[in-house]
Amino acid sequence: VLSEDPHVIVGDTSVKILLADTPQKRTQGLSGRESLAKDEGMLFVFPEEGIYGFWMKDMRFSIDILWLNSAGEVVHIVENASPESYPASFTPEKAAQYVLELPAGFVRAHGVTLGSLVEL
């Protein structure tokens, strides 16, 4: 994750990531951005596992959201979260240390399920 070319592996797909590893970057997220490429995502890194809710404030496109525990295991999935869902928030039932936002449709296209591993 901390390489000069940050990426994660989801199934057999390499995803270029934008890192949100500070409070300011986590607050900004993808808000205001126009889109994500099909092989691009944003990885939110938290200091420890916890229950982290996400909303679609100031988003301009739909996304899939994966919550990952410290081992990179998918513990919660939201597909096609749309900007129109704001101010509702999406909150996992299990603790996560990472949250990966991906283009809408990624989860279905790549067969991501609960328990899938993401190589960080």
Task: Tell me the HSE value of 100 on the side-chain side, using a 13 A CA sphere.
Answer: 31
Q: What is the pLDDT of residues 92-114, one digit of tens each?
A: 999 999 999 999 999 999 999 99
Position 51 in a domain: yes
Task: Tell me the HSE value of 41 on the side-chain side, using a 13 A CA sphere.
Answer: 28
Position 101 in a domain: yes
Q: What is the pLDDT of residues 21-74, one digit of tens each?
A: 999 999 999 999 999 999 999 999 999 999 999 999 999 999 999 999 999 999
Band of the pLDDT at 3, cuts 50, 70, 90?
low
Position 2 in a domain: no
Look up tokens 């101010």; give the residue: 87
Position 36 in a domain: yes
51-19-54-46 Cα dihedral, nearest 10 degrees: 20
Q: What is the CATH number of the domain that holds 25?
A: 2.60.120.1140
Look up tokens 């990952």; give the residue: 68
Contact 95, 51 (CB under 8 A): yes
Position 58 in a domain: yes
Position 1 in a domain: no
Bridge partner list, 68:
74, 98
Domain that holds residue 101: 7-119
Helix (H) or strand (E) holding 27: helix 23-28
Position 90 in a domain: yes
Q: How many domains is the chain built from?
A: 1
